[in-house]
Chain A
Amino acid sequence: MTEVSGAIRFILNDEEISLTDVKPDTTLLDWLRLDRRLRGSKEGCAEGDCGACTVLVGRLMGDDIVYDSVTACIRFVGSLHGTHVVTVEHLRGKDGVLHPVQQAMVDHHGSQCGFCTPGFVMSLYGLWMRDPDPSQGAIEKALQGNLCRCTGYAPIIRAGKAISSHGRPEADPLWAERIALKSQIAAINDGRRVEIGEGADRIIVPGSLDDFAAIYEANPDATIVNGSTDVGLWVTKFMRPIGPVIFINHLQELKRIAENDSEVRFYAGVSYSEALPVVAANFPDMGELWNRIAGEQIRNMGTIGGNIANGSPIGDTPPPFIALGAKLHLRRGEHRREIKLEDYFLAYGKQDRQPGEFVESVTIPRLPEGEKFAVYKISKRREEDISALCGAFRVFVNDAGLVGMARVAFGGMAATPKRAKAVEAALVGKPWTQATVDAAMAVFGEDYQPISDMRASADYRLLTARNLLQRFFLETTGHGQRLRREVA
C-alpha cells in the first residue's frame, strides 16, 4: 500500500512551499501572479507559445538537478511536486546587482517594451547554465519559444553571446547552492502518493508507475496530465473542467529510454528534449525534425507519450514512427497489450484506448541496414509552428533495383496520422526511378483528401506531399537539395 501525503510541496526560489488546497486546473502563472503576487512573469498568450511567462523548473535527474525552461501559463501547480521553481524575481542579487544574463540584456539594448523580457531572460539563463558560451544556433534554438515584437531579436542574440563576459555559471547561486537544493528536493520526493481535494477538485500525484496504473484503473474518468502542453490549453483556452487529475510527469519509471540492437523504447514520460539525443543518434533526419517541434519550453514539457496519446491529426511524431513500424504498449492496471502504432488512431478524436488504459511506452525499430528513410515537416513559419503537413518515407531498394518495401505516412493530410497505402503500392515491386515516382505521385489523391484551413489549402497540402516524395527520391539518388539556415 502506497503511503499518502496531503500536500503539493516544492521550492519557489528560496522558499519551501506546501499547498493543501490548490485546484487541479490552477496554472503556475496564475498562482505566481495572483496568489504570490510575483508579477515578473507575464501572460502573453496563455497557450505556451510566446514565452513571456517562462520560468525554470528544476528536478532531480539521477544525481543532479536539471533546470528546464517551461511556460508557466500552461503548467499546473499540481505538477510541481518535488521541484524547484525559479522565477525572474530570483535572479537579481539581494544587493540589487543584476545577474549576468540581465546585465548583458541591458548592455546590448535587448529590451524595448520589456514585456517579453523576463521570459527571454529566463530562457537565456537556462541556456547559459548548461552552455555558457553558446553558438548563435544554440541561442536561436533556446529562444524558439520566446516571441519579441519590438527588437527584431538581433540585440537579444548579441546579449546571449555576451552573458559569460559578465559572469560564469559556477558563481551562480543555483550552482553554488546545488547540494543543499538537492537534498531539499530529494526529501520531498519521498515516494509517497500525494492526494488533495475531492471530486472534480481532486489531485492525485502517484507514488510510482504501478501506483498510477492502479489509480487510473480505479478512476478511468480522471484526466492524465503529463507535460500539460495540450491539457493546459483545455483549461486556458476552452475553460474545460479537467478534474480529477492524475499528474504523472514526475514518474522516473516513465522517463526510461531502453535501447538494444534492434529497437529503441521510449517510455511515455520522456520529453522531447530528453529524447532528442537518442532520436538524433539513432534515426536519420529525426534530429532536425525534433528541433522544429514547438519551442524549447514546450519540448521540455511535452512528451512522446502525450503526443501519441492525444491522437492529434497533426502530431509530428506519429508519421515517422509509423513509417518506422513503431509498436505501442498500452497498459491498464496490470494488463498490458501491444499494438501497431498506426492501428491506434481510429478516427478523428478517437483512439484505440480503453477506459483506465494508458500509453506506457512506444518501441521504434531501428532502420534496417540498407533502407532509406526521411521525414519532412512543412509549416508556414519554419520553427515553432504546427505542421501544415509532416511526411515520412521509408523504402528498401533491393539488389535488382526494385522497391522491396515502402512505407509512407503523413500527418496533416487526414483526420488521423495515416499511411499512404496507394502510394506504397505504386512503389513496391517497381524500379526506384523517376518514372515510378511520377506514377506514385499521381495516386496521392487516393490516400489523402486533405482539408483547407488557416495553415494551408488542400491544394498546397496535396501538391507538397507529392513533391516530398520527389524530394525523397532525389535525396536517395544523390540529387538532393535542402534549404538550410547557416548561422555562425
Chain B
Amino acid sequence: MNKHEAPIALASLHTSTRHDSGPKHVAGTAEYIDDMIEPAGTVHAYLALSTRAHAEIVSIDYAAVKAALGVIGILTAEDIPGENDVSPSHKHDEPVFATDKVHFWGQPLFAVVAETRDQARRAAHLAKVEYRELQHHTDVRAAQAAGGKLVTEPLKLERGDIEAGLAAAPHRLKGSIAIGGQDHFYLEGHIAMAVPGEDEDVTVFSSTQHPSEVQLMVAQVLAIRHHAVTVNVRRMGGGFGGKETQGNLFAAVAALAAKKWNRACKIRPDRDDDMTATGKRHDFVVDYDVGYDDSGKIHAVDAVYGARAGFSSDLSGPVTDRALFHADNAYWYPAVRVRSEPLYTNTVSNTAFRGFGGPQGMMAAERWIEDIAYALGKDPLEIRRANFYGLDTNNVTPYHQTVEDNIIHRIVDELEASADYQARRAAILSYNQGSPILKKGIALTPVKFGISFTATWYNQAGALVHVYKDGSIHLSHGGTEMGQGLYIKVAQVLADAFGVGLDVVKIMATTTGKVPNTSATAASSGSDLNGMAAYDAARQIKERLTAHAAKLHQVAEAEVQWVQGGIQAGARFVPFAELAASAYLNRVQLSAAGFYQTPKIHWDRATGRGHPFYYFAYGASVSEVTIDTLTGEYTVDRVDILHDVGKSLNPAIDIGQVEGGFIQGMGWLTTEELVWDDKGQLRTKAPSTYKIPLASDVPAVFNVRLAEWSANAEPTIGRSKAVGEPPLMLAMSVVEALSMAVAAVADYGIAPRLDTPVTPERVLMGCERLKREARG
C-alpha cells in the first residue's frame, strides 16, 4: 500500500453505526450484574417490606427469620455504622430501613442475608411485625384534602399580570386533569453486588444511572470516605430514570452486608418487590384557569400542579420544577402563574422517569388547548398554531428565558403536509358520520423540551482517554449505558477526533475510579456532556501529538494535518499507531482527562428567573386511532413523527430513541395504569397486572423521520441535540386523537376531558358521559 493513501475510517460521526453491544446482546453474552460469576462465598440479601401503608412499628420478632434454612443473619438500622439514610436530596428523609414508622406499603424494614437468594427471600417473609396503624392517603386529592403536606419546597413561576390577564380575557375556562404515573419496567430489575476489599474498601457493581451517587450513599451508610468506594457499571438492562436514585438502597444494603460478613453480597428483588419498593413517575392533578379570546389565543394561564411525591423528597423537587418549566410546551402565555405542590403521600417515593415531570406539564398544556378548541368549535391544531412561540416576539417563557432556537413552525408545517393531516381529518369526520359503533380520531401535537439539568452544577462531565503504544485507544467517561447508545456515540466522537476506526477504540465500563464526581446519566444529557468531555481529552492528546510530529518530522505545527488513519506531516503520512509508538519513545504523555461544562446556563429558583436550558429540542406527531364505543377498546392505526435531534450523531440510534420513546409514552398514556387498593398496596406490580405496550400495540403504520435539516444553534458536539427524553412526549397525540374519537359521539360539541392513562374503561366512560351530556 502506498503510505500516502490513508485508510478509510470504519465509522465516524453522523453515521448509523450499530450498537457496540449488539452482537453480545443477541448472543446472550452481554454481561449484566446477575450474569457475573460470583466470587466464592457470595451471600445473598433480600429486603423484608412493610405490609402497612402508614403505621408505627410496635415490634419485630426475628426469631423465625434467624432460624430459617441458610440464614446467616439480618441487617437492621442498628447494623448501619454510618447514617441510616439514602436520600438523594440530602434531606435525610429516606431511611435504608424503617425504624419507628413505616410510610408506605413496601417500605424496607430489614434485610435477610443467606447462603442463597431463595433462602433469603423465603426468610424475609417470616418476621412477625406488630404495627399500630395510622391514617393513610395515597393520592393527590386525598393528600390535598388532608392539608397538603409537602415533601420539599414548592416552586412558583410567574410572568405578566395574571389577575389582569384573566379578568380581561373574553373567555375563561376552568378545569382539571389527572395524569397517571408510570412504572419504569426496565427489563432488568434493580440489582447490586458488593465485594469487600482490604481496609475500608468496597467495590460495588450496581445497576445505576448515577455511580457517583451510589458511591456517596455507600460511603454514607458505612461512614467511610468516598475514596474507599469504587462503583462499576458496565451496562444496565434499561433505566429510564428508574435507576437514577433508586439503586442507592440496594447498593447500600449489599455493601453493608459485604462489610459486616466480609463476603461478597448480591441483592436482587423479585419483580413484584421491585415494583412495590421503588419509585415511579409522579401522578399529577393539574387544576387550571385559562383566559382566551375568539381566535383561540391564550391570554392568561393560572395553574396548580399537585403531584404524588410519595413519602420522601427524592427527586420530587426537580421533577415538579420541570413540570412547571414545561407548562408552556410550545406555547406563549402573555400572563402566567404556575405553582407546584410536591405532596406527601403514603406511597413509594416517586422519582425520575424519562421527561422528569415535563411530560405531565405538557399534557396539561395540551388539555387546555383542547378545551379551548371544543369551546370554540375549532380544530385543536388551529388553536395550537395560534399560540406557538413567535420567532422574534412573544418568545419569553414563564421562567423568563427567551426561546432563541424556535423551529416548531417548520416542524409542524412539514409534518402536517407529509402526514396529509387536513385531508385525513376531513375523511375521518366523514367516516364518523356513517359509523355508529366505531369512531376515529386524529390529532397533531407539538413538543418543545428544554435541555440541561436544572440543577446547574450537574451540567459537567469528565472523560479519561488513554492511547497505548500500539495506537489502540481506551475510552472512559462518566456516562452510563442503559441501552440508549451513549457508549457508541462517545466512541464515534473519539474515533472521529483521532481519525481512526471504531475498532481502535475500546469502550470501558463506567467506574468512579476512572472519572470522579460524575452526574447522573439523565436529563437526555449523556452525549452532550460526555461527548464533549471525550472530545476535550482527544484534543489535548492531539495537540501533544501534533507538536511531537512537527518536531520529529521537522515541519511547522500548522503543516501537521489530522487525516483518516493518522497524520500528514508535510509530505509524509504517519499512521496513527506509528505516531503513538514514536510519541511514547519520545516521552510524550498519551493520556488525558477531558472536561466539559455547559455554557450559558443559570437559574435562580428563588426568583423563578434564569436561563436554565442551553437549548430546546423539538418534534411533532400525528396519531390516528379507532375506538369501539361499545367497549372502549381502541387501536392506534397510524402515527407520523417528525423529530429534531439537530445534526444526528447516529441516525439509527436516534431513530431507535424516537420509536422507543414514543411507544413508552404511548404506554404511559394508554394502558399502563397504577392501581393502589384501599389499604395502600400497589396492585399492579408485575407484567400480569401492569400492561406496557406489546409489538402488536405499535401503530399499524408508523412513519418516523428525523428533521434532517436541523442543526443545533449552539455549538454542541457535532451540532447534535439530546434525544433521550423528548420523543416520549410525542405520544400526547394519541390521547388527543382518542379524545376526538370520543367527542364524535356528541358531535364534537363537548370536550371529552379524558384523564390519563386513557384505558378502554376511560374511553367507554367518556363516551357515556358525553352521550348523557349531549342528551341534556
> What is A's interface to B at a CB cutoff of 8 Å?
30, 33, 37, 39-47, 49-50, 52, 87-89, 91-92, 98, 101-103, 105-107, 109-118, 121, 139-141, 143-144, 146-157, 236-237, 239, 376, 378, 380-386, 388, 453-457, 459-460, 463-464, 467-468, 470-471, 474, 479, 481-487
Q: Which of B26, B236, B760 has the most C-beta atoms of chain A within 10 angstroms of its own C-beta?
A: B26
If A52-B187, A383-B694, A464-B631 are given as contacts, then 15 extra A-B residue pairs at C-beta distance below 8 Å, sorted by A number, are A39-B31, A49-B686, A91-B27, A113-B186, A114-B237, A115-B32, A144-B695, A152-B660, A239-B125, A381-B697, A383-B697, A453-B675, A467-B630, A483-B633, A483-B634
Nearest A residue to B437 by beta-carbon distance?
A: A481
Q: Which residues from chain A contact B664 at a C-beta distance below 8 Å?
A: 149, 152
Given contacts A40-B27, A91-B27, A111-B19, A378 and B633 within 8 Å (CB-CB) = yes
Cβ B25 vs Cβ A111 within 8 A:
yes
30 A/B residue pairs, CB under 8 Å, sorted by A: A44-B188, A44-B189, A44-B687, A46-B270, A47-B686, A47-B688, A50-B187, A101-B26, A106-B23, A111-B19, A112-B19, A113-B188, A115-B32, A116-B237, A147-B687, A148-B695, A152-B659, A152-B662, A157-B698, A236-B270, A380-B691, A381-B694, A382-B635, A382-B697, A454-B673, A455-B689, A459-B765, A467-B630, A481-B436, A483-B438
Cβ A153 vs Cβ B698 within 8 A:
yes
Leading 4 A-B pairs by shortest Cβ distance: A40-B28, A113-B483, A115-B237, A114-B25
Cβ A113 vs Cβ B187 within 8 A:
yes
For the complex, is B185 an interface residue (Cβ under 8 Å from A)? yes
Nearest A residue to B484 by beta-carbon distance?
A: A112
Cβ A114 vs Cβ B235 within 8 A:
yes
For the complex, is B572 an interface residue (Cβ under 8 Å from A)? no
Cβ A114 vs Cβ B660 within 8 A:
no
For the complex, is B140 an interface residue (Cβ under 8 Å from A)? no
Given contacts A102-B23, A454-B675, A112 and B271 within 8 Å (CB-CB) = no
CB within 8 Å of A: which B644-664 residues: 652-653, 655-656, 659-664
For the complex, is B223 an interface residue (Cβ under 8 Å from A)? no
Cβ B23 vs Cβ A385 within 8 A:
no
Q: Which residues from chain A contact B687 at a C-beta distance below 8 Å?
A: 44-45, 47, 49-50, 147
Given A121, A151, A384, which contacts B26 in the complex, CB threshold below 8 Å? A121
Q: Which residues from chain B contact A381 at a C-beta distance below 8 Å?
A: 671, 691, 693-694, 697
CB within 8 Å of A: which B466-499 residues: 482-485
> What is B's interface to A at a CB cutoff of 8 Å?
16, 18-19, 21-32, 34-35, 37, 118, 121-122, 125, 184-189, 235-240, 270-272, 435-438, 482-485, 626-628, 630-635, 637, 652-653, 655-656, 659-664, 671, 673, 675, 683-684, 686-689, 691-698, 700, 702, 704, 759-761, 764-765, 768
Cβ B696 vs Cβ A113 within 8 A:
no
A385 to B686, CA, bound (A): 12
Nearest B residue to A455 by beta-carbon distance?
A: B689
Nearest A residue to B768 by beta-carbon distance?
A: A463
Cβ A150 vs Cβ B686 within 8 A:
no
Cβ A456 vs Cβ B761 within 8 A:
yes
Nearest B residue to A481 by beta-carbon distance?
A: B437
Q: Which residues from chain B contact A149 at a C-beta distance below 8 Å?
A: 184-187, 238, 240, 660, 664, 692
Given contacts A109-B656, A111-B22, A114-B24, A147 and B187 within 8 Å (CB-CB) = yes
Which label, helix, strand, loop or mixed, suits the secondary structure of the A interface? loop
Q: Which residues from chain B contact A114 at a C-beta distance below 8 Å?
A: 19, 21-22, 24-25, 30, 235, 237, 483
Cβ B631 vs Cβ A113 within 8 A:
no
Q: Which of A42, A141, A149, A237 has the most C-beta atoms of chain B within 10 angstroms of its own C-beta?
A: A149
Given contacts A49-B687, A88-B27, A115 and B187 within 8 Å (CB-CB) = yes
A139 to B696, CA, bound (A): 9
A376 to B235, CA, bound (A): 43
Given A89, A92, A146, A380, which contacts B760 in the complex, CB threshold below 8 Å? A380
Cβ A152 vs Cβ B187 within 8 A:
no
Nearest A residue to B32 by beta-carbon distance?
A: A115
Given B26, B188, B634, which contacts A118 in the complex, CB threshold below 8 Å? B26
Q: Which residues from chain A contact B34 at a C-beta distance below 8 Å?
A: 33, 39, 42-43
Cβ A115 vs Cβ B188 within 8 A:
yes
Cβ B27 vs Cβ A102 within 8 A:
yes
Q: Which residues from chain A contact B761 at a C-beta distance below 8 Å?
A: 380, 388, 456-457, 460
Given B22, B122, B630, B634, which contacts A471 in the complex, CB threshold below 8 Å? B630
Q: Which residues from chain B contact A384 at a C-beta distance below 8 Å?
A: 694
Given B187, B688, B759, which contacts A42 in the complex, CB threshold below 8 Å? B187
A460 to B768, CA, bound (A): 11
User: In angstroms, how far is the closest chain B Cβ from the Cβ of A167?
Assistant: 14
Q: Which residues from chain B contact A150 at a C-beta distance below 8 Å?
A: 238, 483-484, 656, 660
Cβ B187 vs Cβ A112 within 8 A:
no
Given contacts A47-B686, A380-B759, A467-B630, A109 and B696 within 8 Å (CB-CB) = no
A474 to B438, CA, bound (A): 13
Cβ A106 vs Cβ B695 within 8 A:
no
User: In angstroms, how far is the closest chain B Cβ from the Cβ of A463?
Assistant: 7
Cβ B438 vs Cβ A481 within 8 A:
yes
Cβ B26 vs Cβ A112 within 8 A:
no
Cβ B185 vs Cβ A118 within 8 A:
no
Q: Which residues from chain B contact A483 at a C-beta distance below 8 Å?
A: 438, 626-628, 633-635
A112 to B653, CA, bound (A): 9
Cβ B187 vs Cβ A454 within 8 A:
no
Q: Which of B32, B633, B671 has the most C-beta atoms of chain A within 10 angstroms of its own C-beta?
A: B633
A385 to B683, CA, bound (A): 15
User: In angstroms, how far is the closest chain B Cβ from the Cβ of A190?
Assistant: 33
Q: Which residues from chain A contact B16 at a C-beta distance below 8 Å?
A: 109
Given A111, A454, A464, which contacts B764 in the complex, CB threshold below 8 Å? A464
Given B437, B483, B628, which contacts A112 in the complex, CB threshold below 8 Å? B483
